[in-house]
Amino acid sequence: LLSLGTGTTSEFDKTHTAEETAKWGALQWMLVIQQMTEAASSYMTDYYLSTVFQDLHSQNNYLRVQENALTGTTTKADDTSEANMELLAQVGENLLKKPVSKDNPETYEEALKRFAKLLSDRKKLRANKASY
């Protein structure tokens, strides 16, 4: 299973003072709650799938690809300007060089190549079985 995320921001890395949050209205609090819920849902889905694949001794058959520190215009899903598309392409290129996780030093580039070979090998195996 190749799970492709749409990316997350480092918004939750920011801290706010009590004075700042005291000025927030209902809309600001609703937006914060929505962001937290979406982030938790994405994280929990990844955690659940990762755990299931580990329990089945198939952890090499699951890969989640997601950039977790988007900033600026790259966080805006409706910005299709050429400049933003170039920025997103650069984000993707940089992500390929990053390790999959703290526990897995394999880069995303290496993991995706491994996945592609695995899928190709399985397709060839199915084609060979079908020809009998």
What was the pLDDT predicted at 60? 84
Mean pLDDT of 41-69: 85
* 108 pLDDT higher than 90: yes
If one counts the domains in the chain, the total is 1
Torsion angle defined by CA atoms of residues 112, 117, 123 and 128, in that order, rounded to the nearest 10 degrees: -170
Q: Could you list the residue range(s) of the whole structural domain that residue 75 is in?
A: 2-131
Mean pLDDT of 30-49: 77
What was the pLDDT predicted at 110? 96
* 66 pLDDT higher than 90: no
Q: Report residue 87 CA to chain centroid gap.
A: 17
Mean pLDDT of 25-52: 80
